[in-house]
Amino acid sequence: MKNKNQLQLYFYFTGIFFVLNILNTYMLTIQGLNRYIAPFEHTFYGEFNALVGNFVILFIFTLFSFVVFRRAKSRMLFMIFFSLFLNIFIFFMGIFNLYFGTSFSMSAATIFQNPAEGFAGGTILEMVLELVAYYRILVFLPTIALLFIYMRSNLKEMAIIKFNPTLKRYLSGFLTAVILLFLAVFNYYKQFEEVLPLNAVRSTFASQNLGVYPYYLGEFIGEPFDLDIEKFLEVSSEDELATMYQEYNKNQESYINYFDGLSYSNRLTMDQTVDELFIDPSIALGNDLQGILEGRNLVLVHLESFNYFLLQNEYTNAQMPFINQLMEESFTFNNFYNNVGMGVSSDAELAVLTGLHPLGDRTLYWDYEHIDFELNSIVQYFNQEGYYTEAIHGDHEEFYNRDVIYPELMGFDEFYSIEDFILDGYAVKDGYTFDTENNLVHHSPWISDYHLADQTTAVGRTLLEENTQFMLFPIMMMAHTPFDYDPYGYREDIYPQYVKLINRITMKYLNYAQYYDETIKRFFVGDQNQDQTLDNSVYVFYSDHGSGLKNGDLDLLMDKNLSVMESRQILQRVFAFIYVPGSEFISYGDYQIRKGLLTGEQNLVRSQIDLYRTIVELFNLPVENDTYYGVHGLSTEPTFAMENRLMDVVLDSYIYSMRNHTKTYPEDRSVTTEIYDYILRFKLLSDLMLSKGDMQTRVDEAVLIKYGS
């Protein structure tokens, strides 16, 4: 009788193993259980397919345990340890969701090739806090439950109970499982092509509609689950290729905008610019804006994690007086969005420097090790104009493979990294004295952005003395999640109204508002309040991406209850502006800034690829017949912004999710099938452009042959 009871307990144990480990996968696919993800619309067909897929994988491993282990006790131990492995995996996949907002895929693993120095400690701490604060401990419930049942069982009797199924039963069970798995995979591909055939979202879609376990097992054994875009688009000739891309190509003397039906050109005229635009007569060229900045130097500044909401919140805005002053002398983008994917900061660089949308599920900077991309870039165009080009970054040169990418792919003449700062005498352990009067020192594992700004000024002045035209590309390092290394340390006294109401990581980010203000100021005003503005130069600032805060604190900061889509829109909205300093000074007490020659505001949607076109046309770069796809930043032409990881699309009046087009903000808005398909097709063509090393060259040549003058 005891053996019978123990046998029943064993079968109960096995059932719990299946049920809880299958339910645990929903911690990665259901937004109600995981606020950090952007799932697809849940369907019965997809959920059933995932249920079958997850069950089959668990069944196969259980079948394996039956072959290897004969006694019930050994099999129970196997299922406990296997559950622990699965639970740890689910936990770390949840952490990946926390930082990247989408499901992990093997193609995204290149992100871990970057040096982790400076990030590891704070990231691990956030992981631990996440485990405690956001009930992530629940992912270990299967292991805990199985261990509890195991400890409550009669281990001596469990050691006696044996099962010896015949070989025929093993084979029939295994073959049945394999057939079911192949059916699940077939159904996944069929759904994927019908719902959203984009490789950037396949990890989330497969987790949800194939099953977490079969998808990641397939990834592990080398099945990428990728879509062949060229085959899917049915591209059969260069002529067809030219026709497809010409529909979106903006480098044309005349083209019709899809959204308003009006005619626009690759030469912007005053009658199609924003009303708020002011152009100083010293740089004006009549009715034509093409080349109004031609011959000037460019300082293109890459800001780290600067969310636009820092300017909207009255308390953080109060910490940025210089930025507000500078905005009065600049052309500002008030509705500007990032285009990043899994490559994050490097993707922002890719979008701005090449005008191309990143793939979203991988990092092109690391893919370059295997694919010899041939891409157009504003760096190459400036080189053709005789400019000296240099990138300056405070991190290690191999971060994002920049030591290879900058000279070989982008075309920079020089790349100055932390290794070069050190060779020139900087001691990282001593920090950087950014305020000599008060002896304030900034300590971090990287080069302080105060130092970065000073170095940019020094390089620029040397080039000016040599009468050398230049494009400089300083890349700021902070504020980088998890927002450590603030030169002033962690503070709560600046924002007493938020103390004990927001998470510590959010408070750390808010503290960085002062740092943003001071480091941007440093490009123009030195430590002793001397002018550091470079003559005959244009400054373009853009943020790479948002802060990534996803813990609900945004509601408090924005003083309203935010929907999921509204929160995502706020986090994707970043800071960008163009400053063209003249020779006239404006006094602000202890310091002066130069009056801007180009001012105004752009309230329509713009994004990083639009910045590419704006620079190309304002500087009249020699693009000839090369294709590009953004709209001009100063024009009234409507467009859309696309975030290439979550696949959210922002238009002037609403945002929608390509993963689930019923998710919009405002919620009473809806995207039409025509607009959805138009943008989806553009994304597919954009992905095709980066699917092969020579594809952009092929496209440019095909378009030139068919449509060129």
pLDDT at 359 over 60: yes
For every residue of 536-578, which 3-state class applies, written as one string? CEEEEEEECCCCCCCCCHHHHHHCCCCCHHHHHHHHHEEEEEE
Q: Domain for residue 596, yes or no?
A: yes
Question: What value does the mean pLDDT take over residues 420-440?
Answer: 95
- 290/268 Cα distance (integer angstroms): 6
- At 357, is the pLDDT very low, low, confident or very high (cuts 50, 70, 90)? very high
pLDDT at 63 over 80: yes
Q: How many separate domains does the chain show?
A: 2
Residues 246 and 353 in one domain: yes
Residues 510 and 593 in one domain: yes
- 590/554 Cα distance (integer angstroms): 35
Could you read off the pLDDT of 288-312 as tens digits, one per residue? 999 999 999 999 999 999 999 999 9
- 223/212 Cα distance (integer angstroms): 14
Where does a domain end: 203, 227, 251? 227
Residues 146 and 283 in one domain: no
Residues 211 and 279 in one domain: no
pLDDT at 629 over 80: yes
- At 623, is the pLDDT very low, low, confident or very high (cuts 50, 70, 90)? very high
pLDDT of residue 281: 95
Instruction: Kindly report the CATH number assigned to the domain that includes residue 377.
Output: 3.40.720.10
Phi and psi dihedrals of 227, rounded to 5? -100, 135
Residues 278 and 194 in one domain: no
Residues 208 and 257 in one domain: no
Q: Got the DSSP string for 520-532?
A: HHHTTB-TTS-B-
Question: What value does the mean pLDDT take over residues 96-117?
Answer: 78
Tokens found for residue 606: 């713009």
User: Can the peptide bond before residue 622 be classed as cis, meaning omega within 30 degrees of 0?
Assistant: no
pLDDT of residue 529: 95
User: By percentage, how much of the chain surpasses pLDDT 90?
Assistant: 78
Could you read off the pLDDT of 153-204 as tens digits, one per residue? 776 666 666 666 666 777 888 899 899 999 999 999 999 999 999 999 999 9
How many other C-beta atoms lie within 10 A of the C-beta of residue 334? 17
Q: Domain for residue 233, yes or no?
A: no
Q: Which strands sit side by side in the sheet containing 648-650, from one edge to the other? A: 641-643, 648-650, 655-657, 664-665
The answer to whether residues 432 and 444 touch, using CB atoms and an 8 Å cutoff, is no
Q: Kindly list the distances between the CA atom of residue 440 and the CA atoms of 165, 430, 432, 443, 586, in Å, as whole numbers in the listed order.
A: 74, 12, 8, 10, 27
Where does a domain end: 197, 227, 257? 227
How many other C-beta atoms lie within 10 A of the C-beta of residue 148? 11
Closest CA to 223 of 274, 193, 188: 188
Residues 611 and 511 in one domain: yes
Could you read off the pLDDT of 252-278 as tens digits, one per residue? 999 999 999 999 999 999 999 999 899
Report the greatest alpha carbon distance in the chain: 99
Residues 244 and 223 in one domain: no
pLDDT of residue 132: 66
Could you read off the pLDDT of 309-334 as tens digits, one per residue? 999 999 999 999 999 999 999 999 99
Where does a domain end: 196, 227, 258? 227
Enclosing domain of residue 675: 238-707
pLDDT of residue 677: 96
| Burial class of 370 by CB neighbour count within 10 A (0 to 12, 13 to 18, 19+) | exposed
Q: Domain for residue 360, yes or no?
A: yes
Residues 192 and 289 in one domain: no
The count of residues in the chain is 709
Q: Kindly list the distances between the CA atom of residue 93 and the CA atoms of 34, 98, 118, 210, 657, in Å, as whole numbers in the listed order.
A: 11, 9, 22, 16, 22
pLDDT of residue 52: 96
- At 3, is the pLDDT very low, low, confident or very high (cuts 50, 70, 90)? low
* Contacts (Cβ under 8 Å, ≥6 apart) of 493: none
Tokens found for residue 143: 């292991």
- 353/80 Cα distance (integer angstroms): 51
The answer to whether residues 43 and 192 touch, using CB atoms and an 8 Å cutoff, is no
Closest CA to 507 of 484, 523, 474: 484
Residue 686, CB half-sphere, CA atoms under 13 Å: how many?
Answer: 27
| Residue in the block written with tokens 């989330």 | 204
